[in-house]
């Protein structure tokens, strides 16, 4: 039964990640990016100072990159639409998934009506779901699909700018600066750098080649 156990574990992790990212996405509804600070750690003043320092460095380098920069899809309205659409879609799909699970294994259970509670209820039913392999597969694939959509919507709210330069590796005009993260990414999925150990060389899931803005200025 290790198969079922592994899948149950994976479904639990995916649902937990979905709950966390969904919360971030809900924060973004109509208000732009919100960062929450909770728990112990440096004082607010220290964070503000570090943030300002980091932002100043990033703005410097990104401004140097800004020759010929044109924003793509970066206006707040479309990003907000993606957020709202995704939230609406996940709301419906989570309710459907919970219905499907309850219908099969817990018909008399009262179904939760908010997204975080629906996810909590799904997690608490997972041990029993694990006994029904097809149901478990369905939960896992649905959770993954929703999580992908939520992550995509989160990514879309970040300010992305197209750079005028050509990629030093593949020569395509495919470079984007992700302003929030202070990185430059080559959007060409087939782009490979000369370093075999880089994520862009990953045999089954190559990642887009990424530079920090500073590193990029040194390379370019
Ligand atoms: Zn490239
Ligand atoms: Zn690379």
| Residue boundaries of the structural domains of the chain | 2-32+75-156, 163-219
C-alpha of residue 209 to centroid of ligand 2, in Å: 4
Residue 192 alpha carbon to ligand 2 centre in Å: 5
Is the pLDDT score of 115 beyond 50? yes
153 phi-psi bin (left φ>0, alpha ψ -120 to 50, beta other): alpha
State percent of the chain over pLDDT 70: 70
Q: Which residues surround ligand 1, an ion (CB under 5 A)?
A: 167, 169-170, 186, 188, 191
Q: What is this structure's pTM?
A: 0.52
Ligand nearest to the CA of 190: 1
In whole angstroms, what is the distance from residue 140 CA to residue 215 CA?
38
CA of 174 to the centre of ligand 1 (A): 7
What tokens appear for 51 in the block?
């943030």
How many alpha carbons lie under 13 Å from residue 59 in its C-beta half-sphere?
6
pLDDT of 173 over the 60 cut: yes
Centroid of ligand 1 to alpha carbon of 182 (angstroms): 18
Q: Percent of the chain at pLDDT above 90? A: 40
Give the DSSP letter of residue 167.
P
CA–CA gap between residue 209 and residue 213 (Å, rounded): 13
The first and second tokens of residue 137, run together, are 């597969």
């Amino acid at each position: 039964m290790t198969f079922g156990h592994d899948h149950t574990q994976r479904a639990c992790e995916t649902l937990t990640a979905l709950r966390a990212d969904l919360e971030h996405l809900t924060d973004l509804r109509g208000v732009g990016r919100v960062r929450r600070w909770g728990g112990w750690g440096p004082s607010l003043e220290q964070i503000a100072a570090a943030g300002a320092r980091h932002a100043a460095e990033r703005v410097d380098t990104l401004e140097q990159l800004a020759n010929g920069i044109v924003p793509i899809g970066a206006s707040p309205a479309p990003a907000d639409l993606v957020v709202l659409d995704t939230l609406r879609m996940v709301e419906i799909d989570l309710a459907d998934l919970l219905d499907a699970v309850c219908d099969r294994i817990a018909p008399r259970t009262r179904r939760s009506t908010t997204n975080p509670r629906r996810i909590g209820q799904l997690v608490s039913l997972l041990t029993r779901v694990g006994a029904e392999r097809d149901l478990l597969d369905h939960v896992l694939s649905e959770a993954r699909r929703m999580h992908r959509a939520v992550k995509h919507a989160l990514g879309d709210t970040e300010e992305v700018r197209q750079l005028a330069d050509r990629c030093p590796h593949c020569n395509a005009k495919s470079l984007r600066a992700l302003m929030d993260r202070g990185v430059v990414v080559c959007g060409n999925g087939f782009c490979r750098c000369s370093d075999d150990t880089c994520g862009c060389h990953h045999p089954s899931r190559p990642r887009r080649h990424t530079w920090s803005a500073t590193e990029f200025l040194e390379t370019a």
